[in-house]
Amino acid sequence: MVDRAPRPEAELLQDLSALDRFGRDEAGGFTRLAWSGELLDTLEWTAQRMRDAGLVAEIDAAGNLIGRWEMGEGKAVVIGSHLDTVTAGGRFDGALGVLTGIDVVRRLRAEGFTPSRPIWVVAFMDEEGERFNSVMLGSRAFVGEVIPADEAERRDALDVGMGEAMRTWDRDFSAIPAARRIDEVRCYVELHVELGPVLEAEGVDIGVVTEIVGLVGLSVTLAGATNHAGTTPMVGRRDALVGAAKAITALRDAALDSGRHMATVGSIRTVPGGANAIPGECTLSVDLRAPGAGGLQAARASVRAVLAKVCDEEQLTAALTETYDLPPVPLDPQIADLMERAVEREGLRHRRMPSGAGHDAMLLAPYVPAGMLFVPSVAGVGHAPEEFTSDADVARGAAALTATIRELAR
What whole-number distance in Å separates Cα of residue 322 and Cα of residue 308?
A: 17
What whole-number distance in Å separates Cα of residue 26 and Cα of residue 224?
A: 48
Least distance CB 132 / Zn ion (angstroms)? 17
Least distance CB 272 / Zn ion (angstroms)? 41
Give the rounded distance of the alpha carbon of 97 from its chain centre.
12
Least distance CB 359 / Zn ion (angstroms)? 6
Q: Which of residues 381-400 bind Zn ion (CB under 5 A)?
A: none
Least distance CB 171 / Zn ion (angstroms)? 22
Given the complex with Zn ion, which of 9 and 93 has the nearer CB atom?
Answer: 93
> What are the CB-based long-range contacts (under 8 Å, 24+) for 15-18?
15/49, 15/99, 15/102, 15/103, 16/91, 16/92, 16/95, 16/96, 16/99, 16/394, 18/45
Given the complex with Zn ion, which of 40 and 135 has the nearer CB atom?
Answer: 135
Q: What type of residue sits at position 1?
A: M
End-to-end C-alpha distance for the chain, whole angstroms = 31
Given the complex with Zn ion, which of 32 and 171 has the nearer CB atom?
Answer: 32
Given the complex with Zn ion, which of 82 and 300 has the nearer CB atom?
Answer: 82
Given the complex with Zn ion, which of 87 and 258 has the nearer CB atom?
Answer: 87
DSSP secondary structure code for residue 26 in this structure: T
DSSP secondary structure code for residue 7 in this structure: P
Q: Cβ(394)–Cβ(96) under 8 Å?
A: yes
Given the complex with Zn ion, which of 38 and 281 has the nearer CB atom?
Answer: 38
Q: Which of residues 83-102 bind Zn ion (CB under 5 A)?
A: 93-94
> What are the CB-based long-range contacts (under 8 Å, 24+) for 161-165?
162/34, 162/35, 162/131, 162/132, 162/134, 165/34, 165/35, 165/36, 165/131, 165/132
Given the complex with Zn ion, which of 84 and 151 has the nearer CB atom?
Answer: 84
DSSP secondary structure code for residue 142 in this structure: H
Least distance CB 242 / Zn ion (angstroms)? 39
- Our finding on whether 138 is near Zn ion (CB under 5 A) is no
Least distance CB 191 / Zn ion (angstroms)? 11
x-marked contacts with Zn ion along 201-220 as a string, rule CB under 5 A = --------------------
Would you state the torsion angle of the CA atoms of residues 404, 115, 364, 174, taken in this order, to the nearest 10 degrees?
150
Least distance CB 190 / Zn ion (angstroms)? 9
> In this chain, which residue has its C-beta nearest to Zn ion?
94
> Can you give the binding site for Zn ion, defined by CB under 5 A?
93-94
